[in-house]
Amino acid sequence: MNSGPDTGQVLAVETGNLQDGQRLDQALSELTGLSRSHIQQLLKQHQVEGPYSHTKASQRVKAGEAYQITVRPPEPLNLEPEAIALDILFEDEHLLVINKPAGIVVHPSAGHSKGTLVHALLHHCPDLPGINGIQRPGIVHRLDKDTSGALAVAKTEAAHHGLSGLFARHDIKRQYLAWCRGAPNWGQRRIEEPIGRHRTQRKKMSVIESGKPAVTDVLVERRYQDFCRLRLTLHTGRTHQIRVHLSHLNMPILGDQTYARAFKPGKQVPEPARSTIAGLKRQALHAEILGFLHPVTGQQVNCIAPLPADLQNLADALEASYE
């Protein structure tokens, strides 16, 4: 391993029996600790030298092959850090877990060029190393803008690679709380319905036969006549998975403006539940628990995100109205 001021760091590795027959990007990822997507970028940029004249990510390797990978200094991310307060549940030099508030977007996108979680993280971690060749925090999973709760973020390439693997293998504990319309007569069930892009409303997802497999476990924790509080465990991570699955069961989440019809509680709903439900500004969904084995240190990380004020008010109002 060596480096120069302009060329960056050069990693010299040799494939062994464990890599024999693997794809090149997978083998080099295992040997270097770089993510597969970063290796793929380096291959496209011709920064990988090996025994073949044409080096592709999909080619199969053999034991005993030598490779040199040039990793250039990380490029700065063209975003201005912003001093946005973070509610940190866990942090070390490799990663952090935050309690994301509702109303904040995770990634910059069209219409959200400022005030995102990434802007806040760049301010909180001014000395971030490169992740996939860019000096930025590593977002390995997301929460919708109007969903609150625990969110893990990588601060190093090794943590990003490890966390991505945990999520890809579904080897991570994710539990959510949701307050919904409807009071089912069952106590728990598993929803196994594929989710894909809605056929006509392209910004929405839906249960669709051609979609990707999606599995959600549902536990009814409390019934309030026409409403309920659910604990949901994700086994896959499809876009809007919980919201789509519950809507499919005709149990839409209170306050969900996308997957529920407009709902205004009538006089049959007692106070203070009626006014509290009517005043919801977002879906009543919170990522409460995030648990995993730390991908670098191996320690068990268990984070519980406290309820934000709006959902605590909803929980208290339902309890007071239906005690």
For residues 242 and 37, what is the distance between their CA atoms, to the nearest angstrom? Answer: 28
- Clarify whether residues 50 and 83 are in a common domain: no
Residue 18 lies inside a defined structural domain of this protein = yes
pLDDT in tens, 263-304: 889 999 999 999 999 999 999 999 999 999 999 999 999 999
Check if 144 is active-site.
yes
Residue 7 lies inside a defined structural domain of this protein = yes
* pLDDT surpassing 70 at residue 7: no
Share of the chain above pLDDT 70, in %: 93
Q: What is the pLDDT of residue 118?
A: 85
pLDDT in tens, 91-122: 999 999 999 999 998 877 667 778 888 888 88
Share of the chain above pLDDT 90, in %: 61
Of the three residues 73, 108, 125, the one that is the final residue of a domain is: 73
Q: What is the pLDDT of residue 133?
A: 67
- Clarify whether residues 63 and 84 are in a common domain: no
Of the three residues 73, 108, 128, the one that is the final residue of a domain is: 73
Number of domains into which the chain is organized: 2
Q: What is the pLDDT of residue 1?
A: 45
Residue 12 lies inside a defined structural domain of this protein = yes
* pLDDT surpassing 70 at residue 3: no
Catalytic residue among 6, 127, 144, 256: 144
Residue 123 lies inside a defined structural domain of this protein = yes
Identify the domain containing residue 120 by its residue range.
76-93+100-144+151-157
pLDDT (average), residues 25-50: 87
- Clarify whether residues 25 and 62 are in a common domain: yes
pLDDT (average), residues 141-160: 92
The enclosing domain of 16 has a CATH number of: 3.10.290.10
Residue 81 lies inside a defined structural domain of this protein = yes
pLDDT in tens, 192-224: 999 999 988 878 999 999 999 999 999 999 999
Residue 23 lies inside a defined structural domain of this protein = yes
